[in-house]
Structure 1
Amino acid sequence: MQGYSGAAIPAWYTRNLVDAGNGAFNIMILCWGPGHASPIHDHADSHCFMKLLSGSLEEVRYEWPQDVDSKIKKALKNKQSGCQRETCQTDSCQSQSVTVADICDRTEKIGAQCEQDGDQEYSINNMVEIGKTTLKLDDVCYINDALGLHRMQNGHIDEAVSLHLYCPPFNSCQIFDSLSGKPTEVPVTFWSKYGTKVDKKVRAQAPITDSQ
């Protein structure tokens, strides 16, 4: 989406849709000015692949708030427990190479399985930082909800540009208050689509945030 304005770091970076992938994935370019940052956010049970095209960005990863798990993480835990009970006699329990197509297919199946889950109650806790990485030109990174939450920020005087692929695409995600851990679901928005700037009146109807 367009960006997110936090209390400590101003953020007006832009999200620009390049390819919608016939509904299978989204490819987008994010442009970051000095001091621009995303909120702490999840990825709506999607997979995020990122490459830095220009400048430098910092990724900060966080644990999910206490007693809070993403749907995909809970599903993977249940699946692992099932394999252990069956003493791993099935092929699905064995180590094997996984392609991007496999990841996307499994995500869609897990998402469908978890739609029947009830609403999760969230504890109010401080966000716990678990890692920090500086990304430079041509560096790549990957994250999904099973690995935790993160935020991206440009703490440098130079601008930065990053390429993102989300598989499958999603229309909303959760952002988390950095002090309380309280989540808020927000719609994703774009500054431009396919090289055409999105109408300001349309963008103004939704909260500004990030789905990266």
Structure 2
Amino acid sequence: MNTNENSTTAPQTLDDLIVALSEGERATYNHIIHSVKFSSNPFEKYVSWSDECYTRNCIFDSEKFELILICWCEGQGTPIHDHNGEECWVKVLEGEFKETIYKENENGALTIVKTSTSTLNQVTYMKDFMGFHSLENLSNKKSMSLHLYAKPIRACRIFDEESNTFVHKELEYDTIAS
């Protein structure tokens, strides 16, 4: 039996988190992301801000999972989107976020299913069978969230409000950890 079980000790550093996720299976990711308690702010070297749009900053990317720091200025939000069939966990690191979940009806129209607010250390979960979602920084300051995707997401569908349809979007990082 492995005596170094990640489930017994919560990760406390970014390196601990990456090791726990790398050694764990997808079924353990929910427990790991909920249990991580950072003893200090390990994200400073990944931070990048833009007044135009939130930034996607890659911390770690492998075939199993992708860990992204998203930096949000006041009022910034995502378009309504899916996750290309993959699982997504969002952990709030700083600020307050609103998540809105939508379902598409038989006519292709979107209806709001649920709206919730998340604050420090709270985690939300999303997978495509649950619908589509959008996130918005409700804070009157810069905020950060940690996104875990299992497996990495290279493209998704976003709702285009002009055409009132979903369009394919290739995803890019604003910064990549070296």
TM-score (norm 1): 0.57
1:5-55 per-position Cα deviation (integer Å, ceiling 9, x unaligned): xxxxx851100000012x111001000100100000000000001100111
If asked which structure has higher relative contact order (CA below 8 Å, sep 6+), I would say 1
| Structure 2 counterpart of 1:154 | 137
Structure 2 vs 1, CA of residues 180 and 131 (structure 1 numbering), >3 Å: closer, same or farther? farther
Once residues 58 and 81 of structure 2 are traced to their aligned partners in structure 1, the CA distance between those partners, rounded to angstroms, is 19
Once residues 137 and 52 of structure 2 are traced to their aligned partners in structure 1, the CA distance between those partners, rounded to angstroms, is 9
Once residues 51 and 171 of structure 1 are traced to their aligned partners in structure 2, the CA distance between those partners, rounded to angstroms, is 20
DSSP 3-state at the match of 1:37? coil
Tell whether the 8 Å contact from 2:99 to 2:136 is kept in structure 1 after alignment: yes
| 1:156 shift after superposition | 2.5
Tell whether the 8 Å contact from 2:70 to 2:146 is kept in structure 1 after alignment: yes
Determine if the alignment matches structure 1 residue 33 to structure 2 residue 73: yes
Q: Which has the larger radius of gyration?
A: 1
Higher helix share: 1
Once residues 132 and 108 of structure 2 are traced to their aligned partners in structure 1, the CA distance between those partners, rounded to angstroms, is 16
| 1:179 shift after superposition | 7.3
TM-score (norm 2): 0.67
Which consecutive unaligned segments of at least 5 residues does structure 2 have?
Answer: 1-50
Overall identity of the aligned pairs, in %: 30
| Structure 2 counterpart of 1:208 | none
Determine if the alignment matches structure 1 residue 55 to structure 2 residue 38: no
1:16 to 48, 57, 67: 57
DSSP 3-state at the match of 1:63? strand
The CA RMSD measured in Å over matched residues stands at 1.7
Within 5 Å, which residues of 2 pair with 1:27-106? 27-64=67-104, 66-67=105-106
1:106-143 per-position Cα deviation (integer Å, ceiling 9, x unaligned): xxxxxxxxxxxxxxxxx453x21111111100111101
Higher strand share: 2
Which consecutive unaligned segments of at least 5 residues does structure 1 have?
Answer: 1-9, 68-122, 196-212
Query: Aligned residues, how many?
Result: 128
Equivalent residue letter for 1:161: M
Within 5 Å, which residues of 2 pair with 1:104-123? 123=107
| Structure 2 counterpart of 1:136 | 119
Once residues 49 and 16 of structure 1 are traced to their aligned partners in structure 2, the CA distance between those partners, rounded to angstroms, is 16
Determine if the alignment matches structure 1 residue 191 to structure 2 residue 174: yes
| Structure 2 counterpart of 1:172 | 155
